Amino acid sequence: MIGQLWINGEWCRHDADPAAPLHRVLRENLGLTGSKDVCGEGFCGACLVQLDGAPIAACLVPVALAEGAQIVTIEGLDQDPVAQSLMAAMEAEDAVQCGMCFPGMVMTLTHLLKTCPTTDREKVKRALAGNICRCTGYERIVSAACRAAKDLVAADAQKVVA
Amino acid sequence: MHNAERWADRTTIHLPATAGAAVKLLGELGSEGRLLAGGTWLMRAPMTSGHYIALAGIAELRQIEIGQDRLRIGAGASHAELALALDGLDDLKGLADAAGGAANPAIRRRATVGGNLCTTAFAASDLASALLAAEAEVTLITPAGTLRQELAIYLDWRRTSAAQHHLLQHVEVSRRAGRRLCHARLPLRRAGDYPVAMVSLAAGSDRQGRLADVVVAVGAVESQARRWPALERTLTGQLPCRSAAITCAQANLCQFAGREGPEVPGWYRQQVLPELVARAVAQWAKAGGQE
């Protein structure tokens, strides 16, 4: 059986079983390895992708139920200005360690920065409740998210002035 | 390691458009058919072969209706949708807290109210506890017709053979003036965990500000959430203070046998209950300006 998914702005065909978890289809059938295969129970956040704009645990979504939805993976954020600002802040804050949790972290934080631009440390921590960093580098990740929020607000203010 | 071959060409996922069509399919497929709501429980293990009837496309199941004297929650509403819908409703804050605090944000976006109540293997359902305290009723669609039950009865009934081939359609809660629902939970981590124990409390107050018409439910301690009638009787007429809450809970603690688990031993779940009762009572008092 052939399935079809709308991923990062293009149609992708696959022949996986309809009940296969979305993250495994992304990784094994479509070569999109940014979504990590870790806990398989929705608790670590390493597999997060955006489904119709909101981050969800791809390990808990049967691929058949993702058909018709707009899927964005970490690979699809390379032109996203909010994600770009976040990644720059991550680099500036030296927040990246082993990298296993990072695609999921970026998925969560990009959504947060878009839906709640005036975020603060408490909101960032709440948003990251489902993203586990085994390197325990949380504080610098939170700092990076707050830095990105300030940068984005400042950039918006400059646009208004201009 | 997972093995992709486990899923290879063994399952069929059906996508009915109405609740009636889903029940009809369930009847036709017999023991081969299973309902698939948000998938957050079923997908934790490789799905076994067979037919799954996905409820995600059934719009009628996702509706949440908030009336002055009644709340109706479609079984397909997600935890996140419920928490958002209840935001700002003081009398139902405990239900909003249960929906908005369960698991983590990504799971809350997918996990449905109905899936949470129907999953017999899941002992730590925040919604089961909160809805029990709210004295909720459920409406089920069965091949024989529509059936309405108290949630407390449903939680036992769903484990019986009579419960095969039913679909939970919606949950209803009566809203009564002066009555408030609170929910206290204890996860091991502050975020992203299922709680080791939880207490939900619904009560009104008498003219002296004492607790009246008390309902208490406990979740995660045993294999299924249930009410705590002895504590309900003992708390009735008490001032909403910490010492009274702890004394009353300790006096009735023997009525629970804590469930053993890899995260905590059974005795621990039981022993934290008085503190959770005190927290629920404190929330109740704070919400009513009796802090």
Residue B291: which pLDDT band, with cuts at 50, 70 and 90? low
Domain boundaries, chain A: 3-77, 81-161
Q: Are A26 and A40 in contact (CB under 8 A)?
A: no
CA–CA separation, A149 and A136 (whole Å):
22
B7 contacts in chain A (CB < 8 Å):
16-17, 19-20, 24
Below-70 pLDDT ranges, chain A = 162
Provide the pLDDT for residue B191: 59
CA–CA separation, A54 and A35 (whole Å):
15
Q: Are B78 and B108 in contact (CB under 8 A)?
A: yes
Least CB-CB distance to B105: which of A28, A62, A127? A127
Provide the pLDDT for residue B46: 78
Least CB-CB distance to A60: which of B4, B56, B110? B110
Mean pLDDT (chain A, rounded): 94
Provide the pLDDT for residue B144: 84
B11-176 has which fold?
A: 3.30.465
The HSE-up count of residue B36 (CA atoms within 13 Å, CB side) is 29
Superfamily (CATH) of domain A81-161: [2Fe-2S]-binding domain (1.10.150.120)
A47 contacts in chain B (CB < 8 Å):
none
Domain boundaries, chain B: 11-176, 195-287
Nearest partner of B87 among B105, B66, B72, judged by Cα: B66
Q: Are B74 and B62 in contact (CB under 8 A)?
A: yes
Residue B87: which pLDDT band, with cuts at 50, 70 and 90? very high
Which one of B5, B6, B7 would you mutate to disrupt binding with A, by most A Cβ within 10 Å of its Cβ? B7
CA–CA separation, A62 and B126 (whole Å):
24
Provide the pLDDT for residue A160: 74
Instruction: Write phi, then psi, for B266 (nearest 5 degrees).
Output: -60, -40
Q: Tell me: the pLDDT tens digits for B213-241?
A: 999 999 999 999 999 999 999 999 999 99
Provide the pLDDT for residue A162: 67
Q: Which residues of A72-81 are buried (b: 16+ CB within 10 A; e: fewer)?
A: bbbbbbeeee
Q: Are A125 and A98 in contact (CB under 8 A)?
A: no
Is the confidence at residue B9, as pLDDT, over 70? no
Q: CB distance A40–B11 less than 8 Å? A: no
Once rounded to an integer, what is the mean pLDDT over residues B155-184?
94
Residue B7: which pLDDT band, with cuts at 50, 70 and 90? very low
A57 contacts in chain B (CB < 8 Å):
40, 106-107, 110
Q: Tell me: the pLDDT tens digits for B109-118?
A: 999 999 999 9
Residue with tokens 């500036």: A92
CA–CA separation, A52 and A57 (whole Å):
13
ipTM: 0.91
Task: Name the closest residue on chain B to residue A38, using Cα atoms.
Answer: B1
Higher pLDDT, B126 or B192: B126
Provide the pLDDT for residue B31: 85
Provide the pLDDT for residue B8: 44
Q: In degrees, to the nearest 5, what angle opens at C-alpha B133 toward C-alphas B127 and B137?
A: 75
CA–CA separation, B94 and B113 (whole Å):
15
CATH architecture of B195-287: 2-Layer Sandwich (3.30)
CA–CA separation, B136 and B130 (whole Å):
9
Residue B188: which pLDDT band, with cuts at 50, 70 and 90? confident
The CATH classification number of A3-77 equals 3.10.20.30
Least CB-CB distance to A18: which of B12, B43, B56? B12
Q: CB distance B11–A18 less than 8 Å? A: yes
Is the confidence at residue B1, as pLDDT, over 50? no
Once rounded to an integer, what is the mean pLDDT over residues B158-172?
92
